[in-house]
């Protein structure tokens, strides 16, 4: 089926859409739902325009954040920046530049060897880089890797070994958040957008109409429970409803739980 939609009521401004049977069924369902919500009958064009407007204007609504974990992320990333800067400085002293990706390749990433430095990998990379530096510096001479003089790497190895002690986040060993850094003019810079992606692991958003409806109900309950905050006869934590709402001592009020909003409280069993 082919649908043509007038834009702003203008016959000369149209959009053509090819639709399947499933598309038509979804349009009919949406039209019925909008009719119940607004009381106005919906034709195809009006239904599509309303759906597009909702998709364009409804931003995800933040309703939960683990503030402690967010602060720990900041601590982790700043500690990582300082540690990486020390490694970068040591490599510059030796005379070879290294990137964040190259430093990352020095470390294990599995559960048993997370952030454990590979001494041989570090030595091998530096030898290769120094070999290239010498060949460029003395183009007329023939060199072999055996001729490369490796400087004292004690301080570099010590700096590299400290990354294993980077602070945990939410009681988890997360290691270095490598994607949150880049090197510019020998300085390690934190990338804010990548940092926010890490932080979003500790935030929850209501995105669908169902989640927004649940959030509205949970907020109503939370605001009612706020009346007990400050009551000497009631400990706020005693009124927590597991999975639905909880008292947040940092905000000083009750907040909706992400479990109810995102997943619901009734287990869904598959037969």
**Mean pLDDT per 10-residue interval, the chain, length 271 residues:** 56 63 74 69 74 65 93 98 98 94 93 91 93 79 75 96 95 94 97 96 93 96 96 95 95 95 77 51
d(CA 68, CA 250): 9
pLDDT of the residue at 78: 98
Contacts of 2 (CB under 8 A, 6+ apart): 16, 17, 18, 19
Q: What's the pLDDT at 136?
A: 77
Q: Where are the domains of the chain?
A: 2-57, 67-200, 208-263
What was the pLDDT predicted at 133? 82
- For residues 179 and 76, the answer to whether their CB atoms sit within 8 Å is no
Gap between the Cα atoms of 215 and 33, Å rounded = 20
pLDDT for the residue numbered 33: 72
**So what's the pLDDT on residue 182?**
97
Contacts of 219 (CB under 8 A, 6+ apart): 63, 256
The distance of Cα 90 from the centroid of its chain, to the nearest Å, equals: 31
Write down the pLDDT at residue 80. 98
Contact 261, 211 (CB under 8 A): yes
């Amino acid at each position: 089926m082919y649908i043509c939609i007038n834009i702003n009521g203008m016959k000369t401004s149209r959009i053509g859409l090819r639709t399947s049977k499933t598309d038509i069924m979804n349009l009919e369902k949406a039209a019925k739902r909008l009719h119940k919500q607004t009381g106005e009958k919906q034709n195809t064009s009006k239904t599509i325009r309303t759906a597009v407007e909702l998709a364009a204007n409804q931003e995800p609504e933040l309703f939960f954040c683990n503030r402690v974990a967010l602060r720990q992320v900041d601590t982790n990333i700043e500690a990582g920046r300082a540690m990486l800067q020390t490694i970068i400085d040591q490599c510059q002293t030796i005379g070879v530049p290294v990137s964040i990706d190259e430093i990352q390749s020095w470390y294990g990433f599995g559960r048993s060897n997370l952030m454990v430095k590979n001494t041989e990998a570090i030595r091998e990379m530096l030898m290769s880089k120094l070999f290239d530096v010498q060949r460029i510096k003395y183009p007329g001479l023939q060199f072999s890797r055996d001729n490369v003089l490796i400087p004292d790497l004690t301080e570099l190895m010590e700096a590299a070994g400290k990354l294993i002690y980077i602070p945990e986040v939410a009681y988890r060993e997360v290691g270095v958040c490598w994607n949150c850094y880049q090197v510019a003019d020998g300085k390690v810079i934190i990338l804010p957008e990548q940092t926010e992606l890490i932080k979003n692991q500790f935030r929850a958003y209501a995105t669908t109409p169902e989640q927004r409806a649940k959030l509205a109900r949970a907020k109503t309950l939370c605001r009612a429970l706020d009346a007990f905050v400050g009551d000497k006869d009631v400990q706020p934590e005693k009124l927590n409803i597991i999975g639905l709402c909880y008292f947040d001592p940092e905000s000083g009020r009750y907040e909706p739980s992400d479990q109810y909003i995102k997943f619901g409280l009734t287990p869904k069993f598959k037969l």
